[in-house]
A and B are shown apart, each in its own frame.
Chain A
Amino acid sequence: MLRFFLIRLARALLTVALVVTFAFVVLRLSGDPALIIMSVDAPPEAIAAFRKAWGLDDPIWLQYLRYFSAIGQGELGQSMRDGRPAIQLVAERIPATLALTLPALALKLGIGIPSGIYAALNRDSLTDRIVMITAVAGFTIPSFVLGLVLVLIFSVQLGWLPSGGQESWRHAILPVVTLGIGGAAVLARFTRSAMLEVLGQSYIRTASAKGVPWAAVVRGHALPNAAVPTVTVVGFMVGSLIAGAVVVESVFSWPGVGRLLVVAVSNRDLAVVQCILLLVAITMVSANLIVDLLYGVLDPRLRSGAKAGGH
């Protein structure tokens, strides 16, 4: 188990290092932060002073080494816009993002999984078709379109809910629903497919043939086996809790990590972008690690496989 964990930890660190390098290269080669933050109309000497102050006039390889070694020492740098520590800027935004993504995750799980199970158990019925048509629609409509449609209906036409901002819990309803619908659709489709595959297995037929009540077959044999692929998808959703709402946060003017990322990228504010990417990478890698461990819990064969590999 220790070896299993260490290998995954090494992979995770490598992933983070690659993310850090990729972000540096892309951001630094795609625009000069001085020209973006100061604007192209700023006096040339002001732009030069800005570059000097932030070390942007040094060779790119030196900037990379300095930046990478700082990260190695736990220094995530400061925003070039206002000089505040990047970690502080990001930390301020995390609660706002979680205020959207956690309820949205609950919505995804609460709607998506039961719908998928129900559709699978009633395959080819009218209900199954309605659930799947709705799921396909929810899956294919881009979140910015869905968000604007919801605003048009519930804010502009009916006047029931605010169209954007973060002043109260009512402001969170439309963005949470927008986020939740797409994810629920994905989960419903995955859960249905997983359930259908399991329901077609011989051990399900055997259990039924032995006279086990259908409800017990589903509960005791179908659901645990169908959970493995579903947990994988849920793992991705958990991994994207921090920065998975970029578009929705922009549409609803919700001041979360996603919007901070957009602003930081457009300003080439490297330290802030880096801090967010690190956080996302760590969240994603952690979620994947947890999912790997959950596989073992859900499927004893995987657990014994890991043990076998360990010997």
Chain B
Amino acid sequence: MVGSLTRRSAIALGGSALILPRFAIAQADNRPSITIAVQKIANSNQLDVLREQSNVGERIFFSSLWEGLIGRNWLGGLGAVPGLATEWKRIDDKTVELKLRQGVKFHNGDELTAEDVAFSFSKQRMFGNTEPVVGKTISADFVVGGGRANKELPAEVPAVARRSWPALLGIEIVDKYTVRFVNGTSDVTIEGRISRYGSEIMNRRAFDEAATYNDWAMKPVTTGPYKVAEYRPDVSLLLEAHDEYWGGRPPLKSIRFVEVPEVASRINGLLSGQYTFACDIPPDQISQIEQNPAFEVQGGTILNHRLTVFDKNHAQLQNPLVRRAMTHAIDRQTIVDSLWAGRTVVPKGLQWPYYADMFIEDWSVPAFDLKLARDLVKQSGYKGDPIPYRLLNNYYTNQTPTAQILVEMWKEAGLNVEIRMVENWQQILERTPTRAVRDWSNSAPFNDPVSSIVAQHGPNGQQQQAGEWTNAEMNTLSVELETSTDRARRKAAFRRMLEIAEREDPAYTVLHQNATFTAKPKSIAWKASPAFAMDFRAGNWGRQS
């Protein structure tokens, strides 16, 4: 046989040996590759969950790239579900033990072990030179210094990490697949913090082998169903399937996010077939896209509420009756119907149903009652002096038209609110006598009111730190909500906080829930999650005939 092998046939065989496996691979991998046009890929130009803490970051990270020990039900109510941990239990008020999922492979082939979990919450990767604050709530003025072992973390990473985990003493490794989160103080929200954005798990070896923090942050090695193939900041991010993914072979060969800043360009690219998905569609474009029967717009509410915020130090707002009148003068449903095509909702105050047993079902935003608003204005003795409203030009979707509608609604109640356009947040927050009303939005990073009403309006939240508002009872209740382990008392404290901040001494008033919209061909069977996150795991992808 060997003797009959001619030079020509040997070359042919060699050639086919080179060609056949590639052909076979190509035949085997007939999964589609998709392109997603987004307005922004990442603000920080890095793919670190602790540095890129944004809505756009959520979209590219979850559930494609980064995964935590406790995951979220992205296609359901966003509740906690097993992630890289299969089960967890309380050891005591300060300690939670988790069993790791076995056989999970990182993108570099390493197996996930307790060592990676401990490293993901180490000083080297997360906390820098900060120390846990034991026995009291974290203060907004604690100092973050420089100089960390091994790789220099950006200064803000330890600050963000410590704000997320103020009292975490460390991770105890029980065995290769068991870890314990040990807190310095009693905390019923440890499980929530484990599931929050920023608590995801990374591969230790990849971090150690990267020359610099930036090298690692441009291509982090994680456990998600897709891995980073190429990242061109401000241009594109290419994710490729991680075929050893513990949750099953990903349904897509690759996902390419491309940055297309102009909304018209995103829509045109979708209609011409260049993009599979077009994200960040403004509400006023939805009907136009859906005029084409081949396309649909999906999406809806996200874990973020739009608020109007008050500065109670302003001469006209010192009397809470004026602020109360403002909350009752707003017809929120009209704003939702006219500016959001009815595709978002007026929520039940600053809370979300995924708080589960901490959600106060019978709470609501102040009712639209123009007569009551006028009566309150009359009682307050308000003389019609101008109330300045510092406004950015559409930093939030529909921000300017919403402000114009609000001003007219307040005028109906007898309030003279004047819009003053400003350029940036520095000017919005500037402490001068003309600061009275402004816009904001609040999220809930984990399923407990500590993550929102305490974090944003409590003693160390932005509103009080900026000197806009404070309330002694609210601050006492904030500490109780953070440190108490009595769930009934916590819920009562939360209700009282809502009463104070939204009714009695309004710090803010919730306008509506925010929403995001994604356009796609109807022929693709894919469901948007109630979040910025886009789920492309097995089970959420298909083609309709």
- B residues 31-62 near A (Cβ < 8 Å) are 37, 43-46, 53-54
Docked-complex contact A151 and B268, CB < 8 angstroms: yes
Task: Point out the residues of chain B lying under 8 angstroms from A40, CB to CB.
Answer: 425, 428-429, 440, 462
Residue B214 lies at the interface, judged by CB distance under 8 Å to chain A: yes
Q: How distant is the Cα of A152 from the Cα of B265 in the complex, in angstroms?
A: 10
B-side interface residues, number (CB < 8 Å): 55
Q: In the complex, what's the smallest C-beta–C-beta distance from A40 to chain B, in angstroms?
A: 5
A39/B43 in contact, CB under 8 A: yes
What is the distance, in angstroms, from B4's C-beta to the closest C-beta of chain A? 47
The answer to whether A45 touches B234, judged by C-beta atoms less than 8 angstroms apart, is no
Verify B424–A31 contact, CB threshold 8 A: yes
A45-B426 contact in complex given A39-B53, A155-B272, A252-B265, C-beta closer than 8 Å: no
B315 at the interface (CB under 8 A from A): no
* Interface flags, B138-170, vs A, CB<8A=1, else 0: 001111101000000011101110110000000
Tell me if B539 is interfacial: C-beta within 8 Å of chain A.
Answer: no
Segment at the B interface, from A47-55, A130-138, A301-309? A47-55
In contact, B424 and A164 (Cβ under 8 angstroms): no
A44 touches B234 (CB 8 A): no
Contacts of A259 in B (CB 8 A): 234, 261
Contact string against B for A residues 10-35, beta-carbon threshold 8 Å, 1 for contact and 0 otherwise: 00000000000000000000111001
Residues of B within 8 A of A47 (CB): 156
Choose, from A75-83, A98-106, A110-118, A208-216, the stretch at the interface.
A75-83
Nearest Cβ on chain B to A105's Cβ, whole angstroms: 24
How many residues on the A side are at the interface (Cβ–Cβ under 8 A)? 48
Q: How far is the CA of A49 from the CA of B142 in the complex (A)?
A: 10
With A32-B424, A44-B140, A250-B261 known as contacts, the answer to whether A49 contacts B232 (CB < 8 A) is: no
Contact B46 A44 (CB under 8 A): no
B465 within 8 A of A: yes
Which residue in A38, A49, A164 is a CB contact (below 8 Å) of B269? A164
Contact of B155 among A44, A50, A79, A151 (CB under 8 A): A50
Alpha-carbon gap, A53 to B143, bound state (A): 12
Among B44, B262, B273, point to the contact of A81 (Cβ < 8 A): B44
**Residue A39 contacts which of B37, B54, B162, B214 (CB distance < 8 angstroms)?**
B54
Check B486 for interface membership: any CB of A closer than 8 A: no
Contact assessment for B424 and A83 in the assembled complex, using a CB-CB cutoff below 8 Å: no
| B43–A45 touching, CB < 8 Å | no
Chain B, residues 291-320, CB within 8 Å of chain A (1/0): the string is: 000000000000000000000000000000
Q: Are B156 and A49 in contact (CB under 8 A)?
A: yes
Cβ–Cβ contact B269 & A81, under 8 A: no
Cα distance, A50 to B462, chains bound together (Å): 17
Q: Are A162 and B159 in contact (CB under 8 A)?
A: no
A22 to chain B, nearest CB (A): 17
Give the residues in chain A near B269, CB-CB below 8 Å: 155, 163-164
Say whether B234 contacts A255, CB under 8 Å.
yes
Q: Say whether A109 faces chain B, with CB atoms less than 8 Å apart.
A: no
CB distance from A277 to the nearest CB of B (A): 18
CA distance A209 to B105 in the complex (A): 90
Residue B264 at the A interface, CB < 8 A?
A: yes
Q: Which residues of A contact B265 (CB under 8 A)?
A: 148, 151, 163-164, 251-253
Which of B44, B154, B159, B218 interacts with A45 by CB under 8 Å?
A: B159
Asked if A37 meets B259 with Cβ closer than 8 Å, knowing A155-B272, A255-B234, the reply is no
Answer whether residue B276 sits at the interface, using C-beta atoms and an 8 A cutoff. no
- The answer to whether B234 touches A84 (Cβ under 8 A) is no
Q: How far is the CA of A267 from the CA of B43 in the complex (A)?
A: 9
Interface residues of A in 81-129 (CB under 8 A from B): 81-84
A260 at the interface (CB under 8 A from B): yes
Inter-chain contacts of B425 with A (CB < 8 A)? 31-32, 35-36, 40
Inter-subunit contact B44/A82 (CB<8 Å): yes
Least Cβ–Cβ distance between B499 and chain A, in angstroms? 25
Residues of A within 8 A of B156 (CB): 38, 42, 46-47, 49-50, 53
What 0/1 pattern do residues 41 to 67 of A give for CB contact below 8 A with B?
111111111101100000000000000
| Chain A interfacial positions (CB closer than 8 Å to B) | 30-32, 35-50, 52-53, 79, 81-84, 144, 148, 151-152, 155-156, 159, 162-166, 250-253, 255, 259-260, 262-263, 267
Would you list 10 pairs from A and B whose C-beta atoms are within 8 A, ordered by A residue? A38-B156, A40-B429, A42-B53, A43-B140, A49-B158, A151-B272, A164-B260, A164-B269, A253-B265, A259-B261
Which B positions have Cβ atoms within 8 angstroms of A? Answer: 37, 43-46, 53-54, 140-144, 146, 154-156, 158-160, 162-163, 213-214, 217-218, 232-235, 258-262, 264-265, 268-269, 271-274, 423-426, 428-429, 440-441, 443, 456, 460, 462, 465
| Contacts A35-B426, A53-B146 supplied; 7 other A-B pairs, CB < 8 Å | A40-B428, A44-B140, A52-B144, A81-B44, A82-B46, A163-B268, A164-B274
